[in-house]
Amino acid sequence: MAPHANDNEGNATGLSMSQTPSNTFTVASPNVAYTDDTITSKYTYRTTAIDSSNGEFVATPKETVYDFKTERIVGKVGIIANRQKLAWDTREGQRSANYYGSLVMASTTKLGVDSKTGKDINIPLHDAMPMVHPNDLVIGGWDISSLKMAASMDRAQVLEPTLKSMVRKQMAAMQPLPSIYYPDFIAANQGDRADNIIPGDKACMEHVEHIRKDIRDFKAKNSLDKVIIMWTANTERYGDIISGVNDTAANLMSSIEKGHTEIAPSTVFAVACIKENAPFINGSPQNTFVPGCIELAEQHGAFIGGDDFKSGQTKMKSALVDFLINAGIKLTSIASYNHLGNNDGKNLSSQKQFRSKEISKSNVVDDMVAANSVLYKEGEHPDHTVVIKYMPAVGDNKRALDEYYAEIFMGGHQTISLFNVCEDSLLASPLIIDLVLIAELMTRIQWRNHGEQEWKSFHSVLSVLSYMLKAPMTPSGTPVVNALGKQRSALVNIMRACVGLEPENDMTLEHKLF
């Protein structure tokens, strides 16, 4: 079942931990150990340290040895259409449930080279590590609208009528929990939906505790060991960062207690999840994770990730810009325009909410530009503009137009124009699945420097989720990576490290030296 775009105020995913998956492969190495419960690997991480002086560089290979331990236990219970293997008729013929568009469920990764034939052996990415299957998820959530999921499906106009009829009984039984609603943070045109709200129009500890109790009740009702929260709701306006209000964890908690009006609903959700040690991922572009919220997550060792689902137009941009700049072509301007008619587009027709989206869409090329000092001198950057318009008639079928203008050899120019028509929600839904599955996996991985006794979790800010997010968060002081290929490589190679395999490489020396 594909969730409808940006109708839900929040989306809780629960996991019942009860199954140990069989491995599709094992690693035969003295550095890897298997038990029924864990996979432990000793991994040598090789990097290159650079010292610079007077414009000259000295490169020194560096090795750090880590241990990784991954719990193998994963869960069950799940998503309706795929779990029941439904098929339905459309005007284009019969369609069946699938996970197309999911990195985890529909892509493969190279495992190695066949020792007899020399051919690459590729496996589904889902099989690279012990991972939850999306069919084995319990779904629940909050919404400022009281519509049950069956009526919400009709309102969203995303799914085929035949499919809706097949899942309508189950969807009619799903009632969203009341949510918090602070009118100043989302567009006024959303007010007519707000009939399912927790009393109060500004942040307070009562709201934090109400959400925490909802999480605990959902967990108990479904006999779950873990709950992961995904913000799939409308875009909020950017919140002001104010000294003494949301700049530290202590100030943020004090501001919530005092009912400060600059604390966003999504930040209240994040605080509640941090307190419950439930991973919280922000799928919208606003600055949910103000400095105080990040500090609070670090203090509690809780996972957070964001911001903004990267589905169509921006994913193309992060791939194409990386290609052009790596090819030595000097991109000088990017003009991005799109119009859509779903509720996300309606909300973004308000300037304050649009500004949040504009920021997340505009920063996706920064690291790629900064990486090429041959093309771009200090302070140089391509012109970049983003326009979004609300056009109700096109519904969820978003139209995205992009023009890339570049300088090429001897003062020549190249223009690349793209016209992308996509069903917005059906591109975003697999990203939600990927984010949940990978976030859950990260809760089962620990690491330590080789020789140490104490195991540690990854940093609270899950930058490993970057492939699915427009404006990926990273721990303070670390670089942001937006290049799509690098983001995927980081995720895949972390998974390989956890099972004791070297990073993927495409040198294929075995085919070049003889």
Q: Closest Cα to residue 309, out of 203, 196, 436, 394?
A: 436
CA separation for the pair 28, 83 (Å, rounded)? 34
* Cα atoms in the 13 Å half-sphere on the side-chain side of 478: 12
Query: Which positions are annotated as active-site residues?
Result: 308, 357, 398, 470
Q: Closest Cα to residue 307, out of 255, 270, 349, 334?
A: 270
pLDDT value at residue 272: 97
3-state DSSP assignment of residue 152:
helix
Backbone φ/ψ region at 97: left (φ over 0), alpha (ψ -120 to 50), beta: beta
CA separation for the pair 163, 3 (Å, rounded)? 13
pLDDT value at residue 11: 52
Backbone φ/ψ region at 291: left (φ over 0), alpha (ψ -120 to 50), beta: alpha
3-state DSSP assignment of residue 341:
coil
pLDDT by 10s per residue, the chain, length 514: 333 334 444 455 554 444 445 567 999 999 999 999 999 999 999 999 999 888 899 999 999 999 999 999 885 434 567 778 899 998 889 999 999 999 999 999 999 989 888 889 999 999 999 999 998 888 999 999 999 999 999 999 999 999 999 999 999 999 999 999 999 999 888 999 999 999 999 999 999 999 999 999 999 999 888 899 999 998 899 999 999 999 999 999 999 999 999 999 999 999 999 999 999 999 999 999 999 999 999 999 999 998 899 988 888 898 999 999 999 999 999 999 989 888 888 888 888 887 777 777 777 888 899 899 999 998 899 999 989 899 999 998 889 999 999 999 999 999 999 999 888 899 999 999 999 999 999 999 999 999 999 999 999 999 999 999 998 998 988 888 989 999 999 999 999 999 999 998 888 887 888 7
φ, ψ for residue 507 (rounded to 5)?
A: -70, -35
CA separation for the pair 147, 179 (Å, rounded)? 13
DSSP3 helix / strand / coil % (the chain, rounded to 5) = 35, 25, 40
pLDDT value at residue 340: 87
CA separation for the pair 258, 454 (Å, rounded)? 39
Q: What are 265's two structure tokens?
A: 């609903």
Q: What's the CATH superfamily of 313-423?
A: Dihydrodipicolinate Reductase; domain 2 (3.30.360.10)
Q: Domain extents for the chain?
A: 313-423
pLDDT value at residue 77: 35
Which DSSP string do the residues of 391-459 spell out, in sequence order? -GGGTTEEEEEEEEEEE-GGG-EEEEEEEEEEEHHHHHHHHHHHHHHHHHHHTTEEEEETT-S--BPPP
pLDDT value at residue 359: 75
**Chain-centre distance of CA 285, in angstroms?**
11
The whole model's pTM is what? Answer: 0.91
Instruction: List b or e across 72-86, with b for residues whose CB sees 16 or more CB atoms inside 10 angstroms.
Output: bebbebbbbbbbeeb
